[in-house]
């Protein structure tokens, strides 16, 4: 029963809360609604009602693993067509989740990151090779090149040659097409689906088939060449003997997507804020100069020591958590916030950009301020109110990977370039299940 929960005023019979909603920007539309409706609210689309949580207190409660668990819903559920029982889209009770989790956890330890560091440095070197030519750069596109290249090579020994292409790799285009389709499907009205659905559905199938084809090629290349010089994700999976062929394919596709879209967005937002906050950029740059000195390329530890650069990333992910939400279901009948009954299996979507801007926790929430992540300030905040990487057992396995890769890239860019923003640019956020700045360019000049 959701009758105690507020909902938008203009609820249209049959269709639901569609006024002021675009299929292109569901997250930002819902953020606007949430500002008026409070920490918990519902939206109805046709016969589906979704409970959203945007308040930090309720979100923290949903992190309680004894009472709540991940729920595969909405966009994540749509992605099962692509990721199947891969880690991200697996249902909690699917045996392959635990099997793959156990096989892959060793690939994300600190010592694993140390082993990936040289390959990550190589890829950042290719970005620099391009940016050294100077001029105007398309930041979101180049961050996507960087992160796809990194997960492709580090995870699977598979180069996409991203920096040598004029257009994005066809894998990226197919992936973006699929993500867009998965996002829009949830908002489509039946008539529109009938009129436009078939062609879109066919394109979607073709895209998904192409993604699988690329991945099969990646796997075949490995089987043919034997194991990699350094054991990577693919080796771990193939050598374990724990995962069937279809599941390995699902994992590879999952990692290629989950492993780069979100990190690319995080880097782009961070660069946007750095270019708009010269004092922050100066402080970050001073840290990089001090820690890296004249080292031609930074050593692993020199990246982990960039505490302020890390805070810039943390703060970018606070304002724009690039995976903007996750769903939590009740394990048994319970009452949320001492007020809202939830039956076993009933779920709510945690909308992170609202949780991360809850003014009861974050003073002046719209202001970009990396100092919020100084240890003293972190300690003074309640727990479980900052969740860009999700929560509990099903939280992001790639968190350390993303943070090392992104800190290395930001450090390199800060040390090497002045970042000159386009004075007319106003941040526009595009949504394709994940978030990223749209049409965001910078002029880069060697320091
Ligand atoms: C899960 C965010 C980078 C692989 C998640 C979840 C979030 C998230 C919120 C939980 C989703 C849910 O509860 O439904 C992010 C962000 C990233 C990032 C913001 C970058 C800034 C990465 C990277 C990888 C990765 C680099 C791989 C190399 C995964 C996987 C899962 C996951 C496999 C599913 C884990 C499981 O359920 O066992 N991520 N992620 N992510 N992420 Fe990430």
Q: What is the pLDDT of residues 298-343, one digit of tens each?
A: 999 999 999 999 999 999 999 999 999 999 999 999 999 999 999 9
Ligand 1 center from residue 86 Cα (angstroms): 12
Which numbered atom of ligand 1 lies nearest the CA of 401?
26
H helix or E strand, kind and range, residue 33: helix 26-37
- Lowest-confidence segment of 22-26, 83-87, 214-218 by average pLDDT: 22-26
Q: Is 424 annotated as a binding residue?
A: no
pLDDT value at residue 23: 73
Pocket test residue of 323, 348, 410 for ligand 1, highest count of atoms within 8 A of CB: 323
The two tokens of residue 401 are 């990977």
The catalytically annotated residue of 396, 401, 412, 440 is 396
Q: How confident is the model at residue 243 (pLDDT cuts 50, 70, 90)?
A: very high
Quick one: CA torsion of 57, 397, 260, 322, rounded to 10 degrees? 0
What pLDDT sits at residue 193?
Answer: 63
Beta bridge partners of residue 430, listed in sequence order:
436
Spatial separation of the C-alpha atoms in residues 380 and 190, rounded to whole Å: 49
Task: Identify whether 41 is a catalytic site residue.
Answer: no
Cα(396) to centroid of ligand 1, in Å? 4
Atom of ligand 1 nearest to the CA of 265: 21
Residue with the bigger pLDDT between 197 and 297: it is 297
| Predicted confidence (pLDDT) per residue in 336-348, tens digit | 999 999 999 999 9
Inform me whether the pLDDT recorded for 221 exceeds 90. Answer: no
Label residue 157 left, alpha or beta by phi (over 0 means left) and psi (-120 to 50 means alpha).
left
**Lowest-pLDDT choice from 9-23, 229-243, 363-377, 390-404:** 9-23
User: How far is it between the farthest Cα atoms of the chain?
Assistant: 66
Quickly state the pLDDT bin for 190 (edges 50, 70, 90): low
How many whole angstroms separate alpha carbon 281 and alpha carbon 273?
9
The pLDDT of residue 78 is above 70: yes
CA of 263 to the centre of ligand 1 (A): 9
Kindly give the distance from the C-alpha atom of residue 402 to the centroid of ligand 1, in angstroms, as a whole number.
Answer: 9
- Residue-level pLDDT at 110: 92
CB neighbourhood size of 137 (10 A): 20
Whether residue 188 is predicted with pLDDT greater than 70 in this model: the reply is no
Mutate to test the pocket of ligand 1, among 258, 268, 322 (most ligand atoms within 8 A of CB): 258
Residue 195: pLDDT band by 50, 70, 90 thresholds?
low
Q: Give the separation between CA 127 and CA 142, rounded to whole angstroms.
A: 7
Write down the pLDDT at residue 20: 66
| pLDDT, tens only, 143-152 | 999 999 999 9
Q: Annotated catalytic, 255?
A: no
pLDDT at 179: 83
Report the C-alpha gap between 82 and 342 in whole angstroms: 30
Q: In angstroms, rounded to a whole number, what is the distance separating the alpha carbons of residues 208 and 52?
A: 30
Classify burial at 318, counting beta carbons within 10 Å of its beta carbon; exposed 0-12, middle 13-18, buried 19 or more.
buried
- Is the pLDDT assigned to residue 197 strictly greater than 80? no
Does the structure show a pLDDT above 80 at 437? yes
- Give the pLDDT score at 45: 77
Q: Which residues contact 442 (CB under 8 A, 6 or more apart)?
A: 136, 137, 139, 271, 275, 419, 420, 421, 422
Phi, psi of 243 (to 5 degrees): -115, 135
Q: pTM value?
A: 0.95
Does residue 168 have a pLDDT over 90?
Answer: no
DSSP codes joined into one string, 96-158 = HHHHHHHHHGGGGSHHHHHHHHHHHHHHHHHHHHHHTT-EEEEHHHHHHHHHHHHIIIIIHS-
Which of 42, 262, 391, 434 is labelled catalytic? Answer: 262
Task: Determine which residue's CA is closest to atom 20 belonging to ligand 1.
Answer: 263
Report which protein residue has its CA nearest ligand 1's atom 32: 396
Residue minimizing CA distance to atom 17 of ligand 1: 262
Query: Of 156, 389, 401, 440, which is the active-site residue?
Result: 389
Mean pLDDT along residues 177-192: 72
> Is 440's pLDDT higher than 70?
yes
Confidence tier at 384 by pLDDT (50, 70, 90) = very high
pLDDT at 55 over 80: yes
Q: Per-residue b/e over 329-342, b at no fewer than 16 CB within 10 Å?
A: bbbeebebeeebeb
Return mean pLDDT, the chain: 92
Q: Please give the residue that has the higher pLDDT: either 363 or 78.
A: 363
- How is residue 342 written in tokens? 């939830």
User: Average pLDDT for residues 100-115, to the nearest whole number?
Assistant: 94
The DSSP output letter for 425 is -
The question of whether 42 is a catalytic residue gets the answer: no
Could you tell me how many residues make up the chain? 447
CA-closest residue to ligand 1 atom 14: 326
- How far apart CA 295 and CA 10 sit, in angstroms, is 60
Is residue 22 pLDDT above 70, yes or no?
yes
Q: Residue 390 has what DSSP assignment? A: -
Which of 8-12, 186-190, 241-245 is most confident? 241-245
Buried b (16+ CB within 10 A) or exposed e, 240-275: eeebeeebbbbbbbbbbbbbbbbbbbbbbbbbbbbb
* Cα–ligand 1 centroid distance for 282 (angstroms): 31
Over 80: is that where the pLDDT of 391 sits? yes
Residues having CB closer than 6 A to ligand 1 are: 70, 76, 87-88, 101, 151, 254-255, 258-259, 262-263, 266, 322-323, 326, 388-390, 394-398, 401-402
Rounded distance from Cα 397 to ligand 1 centre (Å):
6
Q: Tokens representing 375?
A: 């240890």
Protein residue closest via CA to atom 21 of ligand 1: 263
Confidence label for 376 from pLDDT (cuts 50, 70 and 90): very high
| The ligand 1 atom nearest the CA atom of 97 | 38
How many angstroms is it from 388 CA to the middle of ligand 1?
9
pLDDT of residue 13: 74
Most ligand 1 atoms within 8 A of CB, residue of 353, 396, 402, 406 to mutate: 396
Q: Please count the helices (runs of H) and the strands (runs of E) in the chain.
A: 19, 12
């Amino acid at each position: 029963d959701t009758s105690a929960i507020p909902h938008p005023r203009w609820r249209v019979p049959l269709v639901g809360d569609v006024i002021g909603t675009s299929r292109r920007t569901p997250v930002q539309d819902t953020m606007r609604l949430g500002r008026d409706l409070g920490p918990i609210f519902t939206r109805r689309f046709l016969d589906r009602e979704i409970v959203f949580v945007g308040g930090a207190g309720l979100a923290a409660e949903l992190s309680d693993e004894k009472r709540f668990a991940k729920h595969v819903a909405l966009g994540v559920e749509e992605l099962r067509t692509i990721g199947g029982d891969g880690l991200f889209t697996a249902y909690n009770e699917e045996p392959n989740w635990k099997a793959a989790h156990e096989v892959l956890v060793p690939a994300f330890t600190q010592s694993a990151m140390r082993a990936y560091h040289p390959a990550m440095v190589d890829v950042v070197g290719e970005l620099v090779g391009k940016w050294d030519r100077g001029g105007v750069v398309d930041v979101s596109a180049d961050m996507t090149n960087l992160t796809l290249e990194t997960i492709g090579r580090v995870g699977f020994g598979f180069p996409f040659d991203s920096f040598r292409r004029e257009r994005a790799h066809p894998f990226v285009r197919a992936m973006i097409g699929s993500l867009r389709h998965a996002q829009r499907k949830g908002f489509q009205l039946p008539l529109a689906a009938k009129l436009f659905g078939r062609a879109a559905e066919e394109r979607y199938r073709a895209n998904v088939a192409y993604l699988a084809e690329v991945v099969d090629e990646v796997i075949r290349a490995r089987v043919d060449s034997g194991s990699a010089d350094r054991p990577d994700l693919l080796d771990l999976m193939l050598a374990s003997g724990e995962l069937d062929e279809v599941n390995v394919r699902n994992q590879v596709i999952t990692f290629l997507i989950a492993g780069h879209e979100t990190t690319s967005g995080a880097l782009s937002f961070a660069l946007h804020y750095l270019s708009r906050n010269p004092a922050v950029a100066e402080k970050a740059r001073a840290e990089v100069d001090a820690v890296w000195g004249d080292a031609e390329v930074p050593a692993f530890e020199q990246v982990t020591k960039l505490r302020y650069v890390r805070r810039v990333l943390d703060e970018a992910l606070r304002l724009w958590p690039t995976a903007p939400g996750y769903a939590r279901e009740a394990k048994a009948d319970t009452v949320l916030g001492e007020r809202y009954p939830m039956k076993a299996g009933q779920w709510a979507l945690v909308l992170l950009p609202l949780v991360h801007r809850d003014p009861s926790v974050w003073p002046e929430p719209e202001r970009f301020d990396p100092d919020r992540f100084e240890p003293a300030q972190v300690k003074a905040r309640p727990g479980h109110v900052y969740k860009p990487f999700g929560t509990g057992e099903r939280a992001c396995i790639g968190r350390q990977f993303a943070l090392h890769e992104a800190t290395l890239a930001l450090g390199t860019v800060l040390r090497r370039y002045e970042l000159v923003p386009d004075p007319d640019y106003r941040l526009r956020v595009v949504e394709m299940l994940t978030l990223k700045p749209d049409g965001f360019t910078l002029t880069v000049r060697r320091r």
